[in-house]
Amino acid sequence: MPISLVPISDKSRRDRVLELALRSPRKRAIQAIKWLTHYASFRNLNRIVNSSDISALAVAYPEYRFKYLGNYLSPAFSTTQRAAILGHTYRFLAMQKILPFRTAMAGEMVELWSRTVDGERYDAVLSPMREDFFLEGDLALLFRREGKPLYRLTFSFVPGTCVGLEEETALFIGGSQGYRNPVIEFRRASKLMGEICPPTLLLIILKAISKALGIRTLLGVSLAHHSCNAVSSGKIKSVMAYDAFWEANSAEKSGRFYHMTSDLAFRPSEASSSAHRARARRKQERKMELYTEMLAKCGVGRSLEFAPAKFEWEPAALVEV
């Protein structure tokens, strides 16, 4: 099935920047001092932005090139590292031809996967940076039911040197978040997907994308080092969306983040009965089928086709850098 382009509505980016600046003048003053202190990093980032094939993104999102002044991805990174990560993301995405990253970064949604079960349509779409996950990453993978988002994983491509790896690029997941949906709707989606819950389904797709791009390591942000203070402080209960979720998917804590490979790995079943072990094997088989399907779609060297699709994104509330 061809990957589908999903248009989204536009809005005034400059008006939003002005509103954010007026809303928190003290915070903007602190960030202005940071900007001056790290002006060399900004000049380098600006050069990368202007020379990349996706420089139009900076026109659509004028605040984008300044997001490293906030808690972009994680407060565990220094301002210099965040600027380097943002520049690396630009360079990496501009070079890719396997998936339509440049289309997504320019403000469009791209459908990567879909299923229709019992008359209900579910899909996974690649989404550009949005206001509601501005600092958690630069792209997001959304799981939707009938066009309504149920869950998202937000990610960026970081240089290995910033996370203690020898490899050139790693995929960093900075956000794992459900939307305000009834629990019954979430559980029904999991059941219809063969007992694979939406966040796990999205993670499998991200692993396949990483594998196709030659990326060996994915990192998941830990709860304690999340970009949102409300999450890291425990005001928002998110342990099942982060630490416990990574561990359930064979990730291992290394330093401040969780590490996992782009290969699909399974832990031995600890079920006591043969029926439960058989059920676990069937789930693993369904996960491997999805992983194999996505690898085939994202095969290295393939040029993916686009097909029009209708979808209108609802404007989100303003989020401060």
For residue 226, the domain's CATH number is 3.40.630.30
Residue 143 lies inside a defined structural domain of this protein: yes
Helix (H) or strand (E) holding 255: none
Residue in 111, 170, 118, 95 with CA at minimum distance from that of residue 144: 111
Alpha carbon separation from 226 to 73, 166, 201, 231 (Å, rounded): 7, 24, 22, 7
Residue 170 lies inside a defined structural domain of this protein: yes
- Alpha-carbon distance of 306 to 62, in angstroms, equals 28
Range list of H helices, the chain: 13-23, 25-37, 39-51, 56-60, 79-95, 101-105, 183-192, 198-212, 229-232, 243-248, 274-297
Residues of the chain under the 70 pLDDT cut:
1-25, 27-28, 30-31, 35-36, 38-39, 51-63, 97-100, 102-107, 130-132, 181, 230, 232-239, 269-272, 299-321
Residue 65 lies inside a defined structural domain of this protein: no
Number of domains, the chain: 1
pTM confidence score: 0.81
Q: Is 98 exposed, middle or buried (0-12, 13-18, 19+ CB in 10 A)?
A: middle
Cβ atoms within 10 Å, residue 229: 11
- The residue segments making up the domain with residue 282 are 3-13+107-308
| Contact between 246 and 224 (Cβ < 8 Å) | no
Residue 144 lies inside a defined structural domain of this protein: yes
Question: What dihedral do alpha carbons 160, 163, 166, 172 form, nearest 10°?
Answer: -50
- Both structure tokens of 209: 């994308």
Residue 295 lies inside a defined structural domain of this protein: yes
Residue 225 lies inside a defined structural domain of this protein: yes
